[in-house]
Amino acid sequence: MRKHRTSIEFPIDLWEELERRIPSRKRTAFIVDAIREKLIRESMRCIILCGGPGIGMGPLTASIPKPMMPVGYKPILEHIILKLKKQGIYNFILAVSHLGEPIIKYFGDGSSLGVKIDYSIEKVQLGTAGAVKNAEKKLNETFLALYGDILFTELDAHSLIKYHRDKGGVATMVLARVDDASRFGLVSIDEAGKVIAFREKPRTPVPGLVNAGIYVFEPSIFDYIPQKTPVSFEEDVFPELAEKGKLYAYLYDNYWVDIGTPRDYEKACRDFFNGVLK
C-alpha cells in the first residue's frame, strides 16, 4: 500500500478524547480506518457486471471468468476497481453468475484493496439489464454501472456524474471514439447530448462513437427493466429511453478497450507492458 505523509488538525477536545481512548501506537491506524469508513459510507455505489460467459474468449474462459483474466499483474476487474478508487468510488457491487466463485474468493469483502465489495448473485443468466435489476435493493440512489471486461485510463468519474445530474436524464452512457466500429454498432447523438439512434454494425470498418459499457443510472431505471427475466440494456432498455428522450451520452476520448476477443486481450496485455495502459 502506498503511503503519503500528511498532517491533520484536531480540535483540542477531540484530540484529548483520542489520547484517552486510543493507545498512541494505534492512533494512526485508527484515524486511517475512520477516514476509510467515512469515504466508503459517502461513496456512490458502483455495480460491475461480471457474470457473462465470455463466449468470444473461448477456450480461455472455460475455466476462468473473463473479468479475472490477468492484464499485467492483476485481473481485469482489479484494474477497474483500482481506477475507480482513485476517482473516489469505494463502494462496489459485483454481479456474478458464470464462474462467480473465483471472483468472490479473490476479492472477498474488498478490504485488501481498501474498498467495500458486496455481491449480487444470478442463479440464471439475466442479461446486462437483468443483472442490474437483480441488485435493485442495493441501489436506491444514483449509481455507476460498468461491464467487467473493459479497460480505460483517464475517465473522469466526477465530470461524468456531474454531467449526468446536469442533464437530468434517467441514464447517461459513456461513448468511446474508435477507428473501427464494425464490431460494436454506432450511436448517434444530437447537439444537446441526447442519444437519438442506435445504428447496426457497419459492414466495413468505419470510425465512430460506440457504447463503452460505462453508465450512470437513476433508480428510476428499474421502472424500465422487468423482473426475473433476461433483459439487455442495448437491445431492450436503451432504445426505449432514447425514444423518450431520457438517455444522454458522455463523450470519452482517451484509451479504452473492450476485451471481447483474444486479439483484444493480446492488445490490452501489450499496451500494459508498453506503458500505454497505466
Three-class SS of residue 51? Answer: coil
Distance CA 182, CA 206 (A): 7
For the chain, helix (H) and strand (E) counts, in that order, are: 8, 13
Distance CA 139, CA 219 (A): 7
Grid cell for residue 184:
460494436
Confirm whether pTM is higher than 0.85: yes
Distance CA 131, CA 168 (A): 24
Amino acid (one-letter) located at 14 = L
Distance CA 262, CA 180 (A): 17
Where are the CATH 3.90.550.10 domain residues in the chain?
44-273
Three-class SS of residue 47? Answer: strand
Contacts of 147 (CB under 8 A, 6+ apart): 48, 49, 52, 128, 213, 214, 258
Q: Provide the phi-psi class of 168: left if phi over 0, else alpha when psi is between -120 and 50, else beta.
A: left
Per-residue model confidence as pLDDT tens for the chain (278 residues)? 566 677 777 788 877 878 888 888 887 877 777 766 666 666 699 999 998 877 777 777 778 899 999 999 899 999 999 999 999 999 999 999 878 999 999 999 999 999 999 999 998 889 999 999 999 999 999 999 999 999 999 899 999 999 999 999 999 999 999 999 888 889 999 999 999 999 888 888 899 999 999 999 999 999 999 988 999 999 999 999 999 999 999 999 999 999 988 999 999 999 999 999 87
CATH H superfamily, domain 44-273: Spore Coat Polysaccharide Biosynthesis Protein SpsA; Chain A (3.90.550.10)
